[in-house]
Chain A
Amino acid sequence: MTMMTQANPATAGRTRPINMAILAMGGEGGGVLSDWIVALSEHNGWFAQSTSVPGVAQRTGATVYYVELFPREDSPNPRYPVLSTMPTPGEVDVVVASELMEAGRAIQRGFCTPDRSVLIASTSRTYAMPERTAMGDGRIDSQEIIDAALGASKSFWRGDFARIADETGSVISAVLFGAIAASGTLPFTREQFEEAIRSGGKGVESSLRAFSEGFRVAAASQRPVVELSLGSRPAEVEEAIAAELAHTAEVDLAIVNPAALVGSKIASQAERISAFPAASRHMLVNGIKRTAEYQDVRYADEYLDRVASITAFEIDPDGDARLTTETARFTALWMTYEDTIRVAFHKTRARRFDRVGKEARVNDEQMMQVREYLHPQVEEITDTLPTGLGRWVLNSKAANKVIHRVTHKGIKLQTTSVWGYTMLYTMARCRPIRRRSLRFGLEQARIDTWLTTVREYAATNYALACEIVECQQLVKGYGETHARGMHSFNEIMRVLPAVSNRSDAAQQVALLRQAALADEHGKQLAAMITGLTG
């Protein structure tokens, strides 16, 4: 052991310990990681002191493990170093974060600094509560953290370590351990790292696999970009680049030959797309496929007619064509509103069965059963019935009672059983009668009213028209969620005449939309409307 410390230039004349902070979330194995580091150090002639903040911080909350390492003196009675129990901002040599926002926290707390810190972090995200509970997209931008991390560290060793843990059937601590080894910031060899895992004794094989992948991916993250095309790249980078290229190719193809992106059934609809602004064509291709799949080919034509009625007001046909593109998006979404037929259709498709099996990692020797948690409301049932019948059921107390009795506690339906599948399949096959249903008539009228409103303002205030189009994003979901969104949408449409006279009308509508998404009870929206209309 002492031989080693002598041989190692990292220890010679060393006066300060290696300071190492590990930022993780409770239950993520930060403790295991610091235990490995301690074992690694002690087995190789170093003193190690690790501390953590115990207690409730370990229940999913952010927590910091702190380790200091110092070489043992080469003497029979080595002196004990005095090691700190807490990291000091500006003095941390190695910062490890199991998640990207935690890397951000390390920067914010001054643990990760540009002049000293080697940062080893997973680029994976475990979303914080506000990001998850937002009614729309509340996520922060990962790239912004990565940029900040590059600026705030000496070097930044990164990769999607959570994914590697998942793929190797291990835990993220093993992957991070590999990444630490790759960074070369600790004076130990790869073999010594691996030995620490082996002597730990638990899940050694999968941990070593995860370690090795972590090592490889972290090392690859340091190669300059120009080299990327040469050596091996991490799988996720390969995939991301491939997906990006495929997407760009598809968007380009939609511009020059939209028909190439669809089947023969809707080829003539695709031909029509060439008449629309280039920037909107890819969206329109998706739109005709979506509407045709949802209902029928005629529906795709109706969809294009609707978008065409707005394109006349497009003032930026050679540029982003925002009005057309967003109308193409939101008209398609509204026309393919969520009803029981659509749900049943998606739940019975073969590709869904495949996806569920993959997600649950079902192998050939195992068997999979899927149970749906359905809770159809009376309205959702009447929605799909032919208009007359639907209206009768909706108004009939007796029918209401029967439906309530069957559905009020919800239905659990086993889709993988013959009976359950038949039920859903039959529902999905009701597609042709959807055109005659109560809801269909209602939604078509709503769509037309909305687009009429858009046209009303489009000639005089293009930006406002775009904002009105985008208000459709409020209308989504099922049951209460749908009712709440519809209410918010209607409220905004109600105050539109009053708002439209303002010079900042478009901005106000955008703010109204934000307010509608701010809380579930519509409090902010109501307050803002009161403020606007007095």
Chain B
Amino acid sequence: MAERSFATEVKALRIGEGQEFHGEGILAVTKGLLQSGVSYVGGYQGAPISHLMDVLGDAQEILDELDIYFENSASEATAGAMLGASVHYPLRGAITFKSTVGFNVASDALANLSSGGVRGGALVIIGEDYGEGSSIMQERTHAFAMKSQMWLLDPRPNLTAIVDMVEKGFELSEASNTPVILELRLRSCHLHGSFIAKDNKRPKMTIKEAVENPERDLSRIVLPPMNFAHEQEKLTKRWPAAVEFIKENKLNEYLPGEGQDIGIILQGGLFNNVNRALELLGLSDIYGESKIPLYIMNVTYPVIDDEVVEFCKGKRAVLLVEEGQPDYIEQNIQAVLRRNDATVKLHGKDVLPVAGEYTPAAVTKGVLAFMQKYAPESLEGVELPVLALPADDPRYPLAPRIATDLVQGRPPGFCTGCPERPIFAALTLAQREVGEHYVSADIGCHLFSINAPFNIGATTMGYGLGSAAASALNGSGAMKRPIAVMGDGGFWHNGLTSGVGNAVFNENDQLLVIVDNAYSAATGGQDVLSSAADNPIRSTKHPIEAAVRGIGVKWARTATNTYKVDEMRDLFKEALTSDDAGPKVIIAQSECTLNRMRREKPAMAKAAKEGKRVVRERFGVDPETCTGDHSCIRISGCPSLTIADNPDPMRTDPIAQVISSCVGCGLCGENAHAAALCPSFYQTQIITNPSRWDRTKLAVRRWYIGMLQRGIERRLTGIEPAAS
């Protein structure tokens, strides 16, 4: 079960023609798919489009009613290959994943798809993980569009434009027999807004009809000599068809402004930021009525030469606002202008940042520089935003108003009670005994080990590639072996073959730790093959250990309770010192606590209400015995284990404290044991609706302990002043 349920929100997907839809970007995209008569949908979760997969999963009932097939693909490559169904059939298909990383994985399939072309509309919806909040290398999907010749749509960030582009994307794909990429920027996915809906449409052809009526067209298969023909066809047939469609349907927008001899060309996805910049400079208003002519490229690939030339005609200078690098569009437009002997001066990354996100602040500064050069008179009488002030002006928004050391970084980390934390606590303790080892990390929540307090992990080469990334550091007579980490998500995505199979085949000596928390946790708790839960529409409960043994691993252990830190530590030590050849695989298994709590908390509350005996646990630290060294925090980092003022009037260092968000996972106690820390930790059990036996015990204890406690206080009288 995914972290977030959209069970309520998906009801809005049923609304029909003329009704106003309110909701998030991803829901809007789903609604767009339903309005387009899509036949099948697949994809792989990953921020920022994880929730699109979750929405589709929760919308299964609606999908069934419309005969739409939906699959949680094993990887982006699987999703890409899935679009193969649109090669011969007039089936509309859509897939979704995080880009550029997802595109890297899918590109083999998508390159083949693009070569032969498609008959049914094929839409690749990508969440462009670029800019603030991104967790991956900063690259552009644009490159993939160019290399495989797929059209790239980058609509304005409002729900109407996005939904419209879903529908138009399918049509463009079919008109030009080319797969189309719909790019959603990071924030657009979680953008809350509204648009006017249409009725949902059943697909023209269902999957059932397709399967029962096989089709085959030799000319579409990527094999010599057709592959050579495909390349020609891309340029001679599909490209012109696309240009024709884009022009005819006015996918790109032209705003005349006040007819000046300057203008701005921009990617559609940047429209709101550019308009905000223009607004701040007094050159546009809240409704986007720009005074400066704008050419809005909702299609960023291909560039429509005629439109560009037409826009630039009679203009002295044009500013291109193109986010990311390399500056593919700028190069392209320069070439177009030159080929057409245009005299217009094109500016772009000479006045705008060469790399990084085009925030309203960045764009404002760029547009201001451009305007000051070409039309300073249009800025006259305008009260410029404080952002336009020089950096040393005290009114400048980024003027230093707070000492830098007062604001510390707060990177993401393991949640309270995360079962992955004890794995790295145990690994820390094991390394204290057997020495530091090289650790190759992977993508997933476990990657948070790289940050304090664990500081474990040296590289991250890609999803499921933790093991492969340690493969070169093998043996050669070394006294140590490398450690690789992989999550269950990465394992099933490709790690089983790229990592484990590779290590078996090459007789690699590494220790591979597979973190099995029963979900693809980092992306929002989606089920994977090895999930322990029953999933009504997926097959789960396929153990990882069986898979690694099946592929030839001899030394494999599954630790079913990662919170047993001493046992985990000993297991690590054993694996790091074992004489057995080949990879040593430890499957560290404990359920993601976020998901566990989501399941157990309501159940416990219900049981308590029904009068059943319920035991809740939490941890605590005795302030009298804690001396404020914080060793316990340095091998945990749990958000619920923090510090507080020292109540001892003679001590000044803050004490450790467990706050009420503690879920009682037990790590504090286990760490205190395994690392022989200090005796301050205790576990509190709170029993709601105690049984009769509980009550009897309680009565006896109260009497006995109360008696002894009164004795203790009696012996202490005379030290504290008598109560007045």
Q: Which residue numbers of A lie inside 8 Å of B, CB to CB? A: 15-17, 25-27, 34-35, 38, 42, 48-64, 66, 70, 79-91, 101-102, 104-105, 107-111, 113-115, 126-137, 139-141, 144-145, 148-149, 151-152, 166, 260-266, 283, 286-287, 289-290, 292-293, 329, 332-333, 338, 340, 342-343, 345-350, 352-353, 356, 359-362, 365-377, 409-410, 412, 415-418, 421, 425, 428, 473, 476-481, 485, 520
Q: Is the CB of B452 within 8 A of A56?
A: no
Q: List 4 tightest A-B contacts by C-beta distance, closest first.
A: A265-B718, A55-B47, A53-B133, A90-B397
Is there an interface contact between B272 and A82, defined as CB atoms closer than 8 Å? yes
B719's partner among A53, A89, A114, A265 (CB-CB below 8 A) is A265
Q: Which of A15, A35, A84, A485 has the most CB of B within 10 A?
A: A84
Task: Let me know if B412 and A59 touch, CB within 8 A.
Answer: yes
| Stretch of B56-64, B307-315, B697-705 contacting A (4+ beta carbons < 8 Å) | B697-705
Please name the residue on chain B nearest to A289 by beta carbon: B719
Residue contact B452 to A60, C-beta cutoff 8 Å: no
CA distance A131 to B22 in the complex (A): 42
CB <8 Å contact, A520 and B631:
yes
A-B pairs with beta carbons under 8 A, tally:
391
From B190-198, B235-243, B505-513, B576-584, the one touching the partner chain is B190-198
Minimum Cβ distance to chain A for residue B80 (Å): 22
Could you tell me the distance between the alpha carbons of A260 and B639 in the complex, rounded to whole angstroms? Answer: 43
Contact A350 B709 (CB under 8 A): yes
Beyond A166-B660, A348-B708, whether A264 also contacts B650 by CB under 8 A is no
Q: Which of B394-453 contact A (CB under 8 A)?
A: 395-398, 401-415, 445, 448, 451-453
| Binding site secondary structure of chain A | mixed
A70 to B288, alpha carbons, bound, how many Å?
14
A133 touches B272 (CB 8 A): no
Report A10 CB to chain B, min CB distance, Å.
15
Chain B stretch 368-403: residues in CB contact (< 8 A) with chain A: 385-387, 395-398, 401-403
Chain B residue nearest in CB terms to A39? B22
Identify which of A128, A371, A520 contacts B409 (C-beta below 8 A): A128
Stretch at the interface among B69-77, B331-339, B681-689: B681-689
B276 touching A84, Cβ below 8 Å: yes
Query: In the complex the two chains form, is A110's CB within 8 Å of B652's CB?
Result: no
B552 within 8 A of A: no
Tell me if A88 and B364 are in contact (CB < 8 A): yes
Q: Could you list some 23 contacts between A and B, CB below 8 A?
A: A15-B285, A35-B192, A53-B133, A85-B185, A88-B276, A89-B361, A91-B360, A110-B397, A130-B452, A132-B633, A145-B402, A145-B406, A148-B401, A342-B625, A370-B684, A409-B566, A409-B673, A410-B673, A421-B705, A473-B653, A476-B653, A477-B631, A479-B676
In the assembly, what is the distance between CA of A28 and CA of B631, in Å? 26
The residues of B that contact A53 with a CB separation of less than 8 Å are 132-133, 186-187, 190
Contact between B686 and A133, CB atoms less than 8 A apart: no
Q: Is the CB of B271 within 8 A of A82?
A: yes
Assembled-state Cα–Cα distance A134/B158 (Å): 46
Which of chain A's residues have a CB closer than 8 A to the CB of B633?
132-133
Q: Which residues of B from 191 to 215 have beta carbons under 8 Å from A?
A: 191-193
Q: Do the beta carbons of A137 and B401 come within 8 Å of each other?
A: no
A55–B566 contact, CB under 8 A? Answer: no
Taking the nearest CB of chain A, how far is it from the CB of B310, in angstroms?
24
Tell me whether B678 and A478 are in contact (CB under 8 A): yes
Say yes or no: A60-B412 contact (C-beta < 8 A), given A51-B191, A85-B272. yes
B279 within 8 A of A: yes
Q: Are A477 and B453 in contact (CB under 8 A)?
A: no
Say yes or no for B722: interface residue by CB 8 A criterion: yes
CB distance from A134 to the nearest CB of B (A): 6
Q: Is B713 an interface residue (CB 8 A)?
A: yes
Q: Is the CB–CB distance between A367 and B690 below 8 Å? A: yes
Q: Write out the residue numbers on chain A whose beta carbons fall within 8 Å of the beta carbon of B193.
A: 49
CB contacts (< 8 Å) of A134 on chain B: these are: 630
**Chain A nearest CB, measured from B558 CB (Å):** 22
| A89 adjacent to B387 (CB under 8 Å) | yes
Contact of B679 among A86, A343, A366 (CB under 8 A): A343
User: Which residue on A lies nearest to B188, using beta carbons?
Assistant: A85
